[in-house]
Amino acid sequence: MKRKDNLKKTAVVAFGGNALMGEDGNSTYAEQMVKTDLMCNKLLSLFNMGYRILITHGNGPQVGNFLMQQESSAENIPPMPLDACSAMTQGQIGYMIEQRLRNTFTINNIKKPIIVFLTQVVVSKDDPAFNDPAKFIGPFFSKEDSEKLSRDEGWLMREDSGRGYRRIVASPKPVDIIEKEEIADMADRDFVVIACGGGGIPVIRDEAGCLSGVPAVIDKDFAAEMIGNYIGAELLLLITPVDRVAINFGTPEQKSISKMSLQEAEQYYLDGHFPPGSMGPKIQAAIQFLRSGGKKAIITSLDCIEAAIRGEAGTQIIHCH
């Protein structure tokens, strides 16, 4: 999508769905609210630095849990399809972030308008991801339980970074954002915009241009990069459960990276250091963001946001050292 030029510096902040959950992916709503409060308070540093902000978020754990709830009551209530579940969790998480951010503003005597967009994101019906599911959703299971779920429920399961086994679904790449002009308009008017939650509701266009949902979950990092480039953001901040990116992950040669150039990030990705179901999408999104005119991408944890913005934590990806 065409990049817009902006006079005011803009940051897109993308929170992983896991960043708002516990390590087992089974946090209560109240526990997620506590993490959202922490998240909103961490964002104050960006506002104090003069950034206007667009917030997006993942929904992998939440949409997986919601889908399980739908399927468990299928005998009594017709379950919703995956795209509808994505819309529901996008609304729920957007509501949660907006409410807690408004409370943070009230406590800190900040007057800023906030708006949440229920966002549809177009994918291609021919995307190869539909034949090669790789997106983790829902909670973690033991190997034994995952095998039982595969056998009894027909779920596709895969190990997630040594932390347990999770369900996987198709994760096609975004090709367009339906509400991009409205999102850009609100950002230009200095609204704090919450959009493209969960990567957006996945839809396809038919030959007449009409939309329909598809059973998939779009990676929020790609949607964040796309909307960030469209609104002319200079910073892409990707929040993950880890403080820094590592190469040779899980081996004796594991090494955390504090800063890498665009060229180094591209080479590490080609060398296979960042798998598609884990850090791969974040690195790919950062690479594309910089290629399209963005100035900096930062990957870090919720607790390290402020230090990462100061250059004291996280992994910074820039055009050159």
Give the count of alpha carbons within 13 A of 258, CB side only.
9
Which of 18, 59, 65, 229 is labelled catalytic?
A: 18
pLDDT of residue 277: 63
Q: What's the rounded mean pLDDT across residues 30-55?
A: 91
Residue 197 has pLDDT above 90, yes or no: yes
User: Radius of gyration (Cα) for the chain, nearest Å?
Assistant: 19
CB 201 within 8 A of CB 87: yes
Please tell me the distance from the alpha carbon of residue 255 to that of residue 251, in angstroms, as a whole number: 9
Report the predicted TM-score, pTM, of the whole model to 2 decimal places: 0.90
Q: What's the rounded mean pLDDT across residues 85-92?
A: 95
Q: What's the rounded mean pLDDT across residues 151-166?
A: 87
Cα separation values, 174 from 87, 196, 263, 286, Å: 16, 11, 24, 15
Question: pLDDT band at 249, cuts 50/70/90?
Answer: confident
17 noted as active-site residue: yes
pLDDT > 90 fraction of the chain, expressed in percent and rounded: 62
Question: pLDDT band at 11, cuts 50/70/90?
Answer: very high
pLDDT > 70 fraction of the chain, expressed in percent and rounded: 96
pLDDT of residue 306: 85
295 noted as active-site residue: no
Q: Helix, strand or coil for residue 114?
A: strand
Q: Rounded to 5 degrees, what are φ and ψ at 245?
A: -75, 145
Q: pLDDT higher for 307 or 276?
A: 307
Q: pLDDT higher for 212 or 67?
A: 212
Minimum mean pLDDT among 11-25, 153-167, 284-298: which range?
A: 11-25
Residue 99 has pLDDT above 90, yes or no: yes
Residue 68 has pLDDT above 80, yes or no: yes
pLDDT of residue 36: 92
Look up residue 313 and give its two tokens: 């934590």
Residue 41 has pLDDT above 60, yes or no: yes
pLDDT of residue 5: 63
Which of 35, 42, 135, 173 is labelled catalytic?
A: 135
Q: Which residues of 294-309 are buried (b: 16+ CB within 10 A; e: fewer)?
A: bebbbbbbbebbbebb
Which of 198, 229, 282, 314 is labelled catalytic?
A: 282
Residue type, 194: I
Which of 17, 198, 199, 314 is labelled catalytic?
A: 17
pLDDT of residue 118: 96
Helices (H), the chain: 29-42, 44-48, 60-72, 82-107, 143-153, 180-188, 220-231, 262-270, 280-291, 305-309
CB 203 within 8 A of CB 121: yes
Residue 142 has pLDDT above 80, yes or no: yes
Q: What's the rounded mean pLDDT across residues 120-133?
A: 95
Beta-strand relationship, 52-57 and 114-116: unpaired
18 noted as active-site residue: yes
pLDDT of residue 22: 64
Question: pLDDT band at 321, cuts 50/70/90?
Answer: low
Q: What's the rounded mean pLDDT across residues 114-126?
A: 97
CB 16 within 8 A of CB 239: yes
pLDDT of residue 176: 97
Q: pLDDT higher for 257 or 140?
A: 257
Please tell me the distance from the alpha carbon of residue 270 to that of residue 224, in angstroms, as a whole number: 22
220 noted as active-site residue: yes
Enumerate domains of the chain plus CATH numbers: 10-124+172-233 (3.40.1160.10)
CA distance from start to end of the chain = 28
Q: What is the average pLDDT value for the chain, to the nearest integer?
A: 90
Which of 16, 197, 220, 314 is labelled catalytic?
A: 220
180 noted as active-site residue: no
Helix axes 82-107, 60-72, angle to 10 degrees: 130
